[in-house]
Structure 1
Amino acid sequence: MNNSQREIITATVPILREHGVALTTHFYKRMFSHHPDLKNIFNMGNQKTGKQQQALAMAVLAYAEHIANPGVLLPELHRIGHKHVSLEIRPEHYPIVGNHLIASIKEVLGEAASLEILEAWEIAYNQLADLMMGIEAGIYKDQTNKKGGWTGWRPFRVKEKVKESDEITSFYLYPCDGENVISHIPGQFISLRVFLPDLGLNQARQYSVSSVPNEHYYRISVKKEFNPNLNINGMISNFLHDHIQTGDLVDLTAPIGNFTLEPKKGVPITFISGGVGVTPLISMLQSLSFDKPSQPLTWVHPCRNQTVHAFKEDVKSMAENNPDLSQHIFYDALTEKDEKDGVLQGPLDLNKIEAFPKESQYYICGPAGFIAQQHKELIAKGVPGDAISFEEFGPQLLNLN
């Protein structure tokens, strides 16, 4: 790409800010009309809510803004690469996406899409595609080379279902071939694929691995949705709750993701989870407890009441056996027994926690609004941004660092 073409891409930034979501919405409709089979790969729940269109628009805008030095986007591109690999995105998909993206630019912008703009964006897209394919090739190779490793979809059998709360059930998944699996890094996720008869489609959703790393099985802990107007993500979770029984088969891709536990020797660690965001963090906490950590650990978890409090006894047992682990639980609805047990009145307020650690590594997971609020409060307490790691389920829309 030459300087003139970079200038053209930069000049389209204001247009992308104003029309980016319209462009990506048109793009997905166009691509799926020509390639309906791709609906089996893409998350149609995120399509319906508009989250995927918004996330893609933000990514395209960021790429245009940094077209002179796309290397600054490498951390974000690696995060996207992990998601792509989890869904078995391969090099042959990139020309399809590129063709429909360029056509969508022409159709949405109309006369404003000059030949020079279209040529510049075609070169820019191919540059980005080459970068992404290189990143993903490295991830695929790494997945294959690990002990127990594989790429693509692998059949697993549900060996056990365990109710963790009134809403969350754990599924213990063992490979059908009886061979080893990759020992995941705490915080990573797997993609699980099922066929949804109501849609006539295979659909995949990412679930954090909630077990301690091992070479034999994965545990995922899934929240049942009670909203009568389910989105497709909720349909997948409820399909697991209502229709998948012990002995049934599901397809998984290998564990992946870069929201991972990276403890620093002697540095305290604080976990702040909201809702089903507890799942990657319980894997982190149990892994640390299993390894007998030398640093102080703090566990913070709010929920509505004790009936929906998943992993309550697990954390309680770890705290009883580790004097360096303190837990702070918040319930929206408190009973007298809860108060006697030290449960605090919700919603979560970090200022209510006595001796809250201000020098720590922080891991946050939960709904987007929850993450944003806790991140804001930590920054207000003087915590540096690079000490805070967070995971937003679904397409990444938060930009907090």
Structure 2
Amino acid sequence: MLNETTIQIIKSTVPVLEVHGTAITKRFYQMMFSSHPELLNIFNHANQKQGRQQTALANAVYAAAVNIDKLEAILPAVKQIAHKHRSLGVKAEHYPIVGQHLLAAIKDVLGDAATEEILQAWADAYGVIADAFIGIEAEMYVQSEQQEGGWADFRAFRVERKVKESDVITSFYLVPEDGRALAAFEPGQYVSVQVDIPGESNTHIRQYSLSAASGLPYYRISVKREDAADGRPAGKVSLYLHEQVQEGGILRLSAPAGSFTLDREDKRPVVLIGGGVGLTPMVSMLHTLAQTDPDRQVTFIHAAQNGKVHALRREVEELARANPQLSVHWCYTRPDGADRERGDYDREGYIDLPWLQSAIPAADASFYFCGPVPFMKAVNRMLKTWGAADADLHYEFFGPAAQLEQAAE
């Protein structure tokens, strides 16, 4: 527990974190990786280069400072981050390293303004927050390893099948190399894939949503090929998976993780909205609902540029034909001539609220959505405008954790 003096000192630094938070976290990562280059085997290099990881950490530090006297308010965010840490292999021994360099970065950026009193207060606060993460993650490691079919750290999987789903998305069907059982997972969860890319000095880890239902003899991930575009570099891991990993190849996976999961107790209508490769957790949820809750009304909406990049369409339509409680709607932002000739989509252009209302029976439903950040910002705004309750809006970012309102800023 923190004493009142420490709490007040931490709260007094909130305005400083608003201005200098990202500068502090940027300097933190520079200092930490310089002293501990082995940690580059855990962190996503692309998120580092694009500044996404620095921003996510700045947001987390800011939230901790604002809520330092009621840390239970940020417990859902702590659990979400803890899931990612467990899947990446973050361990208790990493936290003192982080604390040391975070305090050093605060001192480096703020200079004389970071008094000994402020640094000691943040050291005390960091200790409390780190202990919370360590405790939660320790429980997750035990649960992951001791569940039926579970395992610790990373496990070798063989690519049983590699299926091209669209011009940009390919599915990988993965079976355990040791032939042992597979752990069950909740629809919406992901696995971390660890790869050694020829010519790279560090291993790379990426997280991919599981795109099939649990209970099958394989895991399936459906990966978008991230080519260089608009000044953004190509995705090293996605290109490696698409171009170099073939059937029979070996990938190392962590056990399934993630807090973006389907609430199976809620029997109200459920709406699944995916944009681009964000359809992957939506498809897992759709399969699960069709198998386990055949009386629940489900609306499945997917937005893609056109038919060439639209993955898993036939699979979803087959589910809808076999399950009358499922309704499916396609939105193509830039349909090509073949799409228009077939007329096999429901909306051209971006999703807007009137069209969304025409596709969804009522706002009193449970909503799950995933896709590019601008897409999720728009969906979140429309659903709130319609009157959907915050508690009914569930979403997942592909990348460092953030809030949609913060992403908008």
Once residues 328 and 399 of structure 1 are traced to their aligned partners in structure 2, the CA distance between those partners, rounded to angstroms, is: 24
Q: Which one is further off, 257-266 or 233-242?
A: 257-266
Query: Deviation string for 1:333-354 (max 9, x for gaps)?
Result: 1534442x35321222242252
Once residues 304 and 399 of structure 1 are traced to their aligned partners in structure 2, the CA distance between those partners, rounded to angstroms, is: 22
Once residues 203 and 13 of structure 1 are traced to their aligned partners in structure 2, the CA distance between those partners, rounded to angstroms, is: 34
AA aligned to 2:347 is: L
AA aligned to 2:75 is: L
Once residues 389 and 9 of structure 2 are traced to their aligned partners in structure 1, the CA distance between those partners, rounded to angstroms, is: 37
Number of the residue aligned with 1:192:
193
1:85 alignment partner, SS class: helix
1:374 alignment partner, SS class: helix
Could you tell me whether the CA contact under 8 Å between 1:368 and 1:398 is conserved in 2?
no
Q: Which one is further off, 316-325 or 347-356?
A: 347-356
Number of the residue aligned with 2:144:
143
Number of the residue aligned with 1:373:
378
Q: Within 5 Å, which residues of 2 pair with 1:102-113? A: 102-113=103-114
Residue ranges of structure 1 left out of the alignment (5+ in a row): none
Number of the residue aligned with 1:248:
249
Could you tell me whether the CA contact under 8 Å between 1:182 and 1:215 is conserved in 2?
no
Measured after TM superposition, the shift of residue 320 of structure 1 is 1.2
Number of the residue aligned with 2:63:
62
Number of the residue aligned with 1:5:
6
Percent identity, aligned pairs only, is 44
Query: Deviation string for 1:315-369 (max 9, x for gaps)?
Result: 1111111222111111121534442x35321222242252522221110000111
Number of the residue aligned with 2:349:
346
Once residues 234 and 147 of structure 2 are traced to their aligned partners in structure 1, the CA distance between those partners, rounded to angstroms, is: 30
Could you tell me whether the CA contact under 8 Å between 2:10 and 2:65 is conserved in 1?
yes
Q: In the alignment, does 2:382 pair up with 1:388?
A: no
AA aligned to 1:396 is: A
- TM-score by structure 2 length? 0.94
Could you tell me whether the CA contact under 8 Å between 2:330 and 2:346 is conserved in 1?
yes
Candidates 333, 342, 362, aligned match of 2:367: 362
Could you tell me whether the CA contact under 8 Å between 2:364 and 2:388 is conserved in 1?
yes
Once residues 93 and 233 of structure 1 are traced to their aligned partners in structure 2, the CA distance between those partners, rounded to angstroms, is: 30
Once residues 152 and 131 of structure 1 are traced to their aligned partners in structure 2, the CA distance between those partners, rounded to angstroms, is: 21
Number of the residue aligned with 2:316:
315
Q: Within 5 Å, which residues of 2 pair with 1:43-58? A: 43-58=44-59
Measured after TM superposition, the shift of residue 163 of structure 1 is 0.9
Relative distance call for 1:360 and 1:400 in structure 2 (3 A) is farther
AA aligned to 1:155 is: A
Q: In the alignment, does 2:79 pair up with 1:78?
A: yes
Once residues 173 and 231 of structure 2 are traced to their aligned partners in structure 1, the CA distance between those partners, rounded to angstroms, is: 25
AA aligned to 1:356 is: I
Once residues 317 and 48 of structure 1 are traced to their aligned partners in structure 2, the CA distance between those partners, rounded to angstroms, is: 41
Once residues 59 and 176 of structure 1 are traced to their aligned partners in structure 2, the CA distance between those partners, rounded to angstroms, is: 38
Q: Within 5 Å, which residues of 2 pair with 1:157-168? A: 157-168=158-169
1:5 alignment partner, SS class: helix
- The alignment yields a C-alpha RMSD, in angstroms, of 1.7
Once residues 266 and 368 of structure 2 are traced to their aligned partners in structure 1, the CA distance between those partners, rounded to angstroms, is: 16
AA aligned to 2:352 is: D
Could you tell me whether the CA contact under 8 Å between 2:28 and 2:105 is conserved in 1?
yes
Once residues 33 and 267 of structure 2 are traced to their aligned partners in structure 1, the CA distance between those partners, rounded to angstroms, is: 51
Q: Within 5 Å, which residues of 2 pair with 1:129-278? A: 129-214=130-215, 216-227=217-228, 234-278=235-279
Q: In the alignment, does 2:402 pair up with 1:397?
A: yes
Once residues 370 and 120 of structure 1 are traced to their aligned partners in structure 2, the CA distance between those partners, rounded to angstroms, is: 40
AA aligned to 2:73 is: V
- TM-score by structure 1 length? 0.96
Q: Which one is further off, 328-337 or 302-311?
A: 328-337
Once residues 347 and 19 of structure 1 are traced to their aligned partners in structure 2, the CA distance between those partners, rounded to angstroms, is: 36
Could you tell me whether the CA contact under 8 Å between 1:41 and 1:203 is conserved in 2?
yes
Once residues 134 and 340 of structure 2 are traced to their aligned partners in structure 1, the CA distance between those partners, rounded to angstroms, is: 57
Relative distance call for 1:231 and 1:35 in structure 2 (3 A) is farther
Relative distance call for 1:322 and 1:350 in structure 2 (3 A) is farther
Number of the residue aligned with 2:121:
120
Once residues 355 and 87 of structure 1 are traced to their aligned partners in structure 2, the CA distance between those partners, rounded to angstroms, is: 38
Could you tell me whether the CA contact under 8 Å between 1:148 and 1:215 is conserved in 2?
no
Measured after TM superposition, the shift of residue 243 of structure 1 is 0.4
Once residues 205 and 24 of structure 2 are traced to their aligned partners in structure 1, the CA distance between those partners, rounded to angstroms, is: 25
Q: Within 5 Å, which residues of 2 pair with 1:271-310? A: 271-291=272-292, 293-310=294-311
Once residues 230 and 237 of structure 2 are traced to their aligned partners in structure 1, the CA distance between those partners, rounded to angstroms, is: 13
Query: Deviation string for 1:217-238 (max 9, x for gaps)?
Result: 2100000123257867711011
1:196 alignment partner, SS class: coil
Aligned pairs, number: 400
Q: Which one is further off, 285-294 or 55-64?
A: 285-294
1:129 alignment partner, SS class: helix
Relative distance call for 1:66 and 1:292 in structure 2 (3 A) is closer
Once residues 60 and 343 of structure 1 are traced to their aligned partners in structure 2, the CA distance between those partners, rounded to angstroms, is: 43
Measured after TM superposition, the shift of residue 161 of structure 1 is 0.1
Query: Deviation string for 1:232-253 (max 9, x for gaps)?
Result: 7711011100000111111110
Once residues 225 and 182 of structure 2 are traced to their aligned partners in structure 1, the CA distance between those partners, rounded to angstroms, is: 27
Q: Within 5 Å, which residues of 2 pair with 1:90-109? A: 90-109=91-110
Once residues 71 and 94 of structure 1 are traced to their aligned partners in structure 2, the CA distance between those partners, rounded to angstroms, is: 20
Could you tell me whether the CA contact under 8 Å between 2:294 and 2:323 is conserved in 1?
no
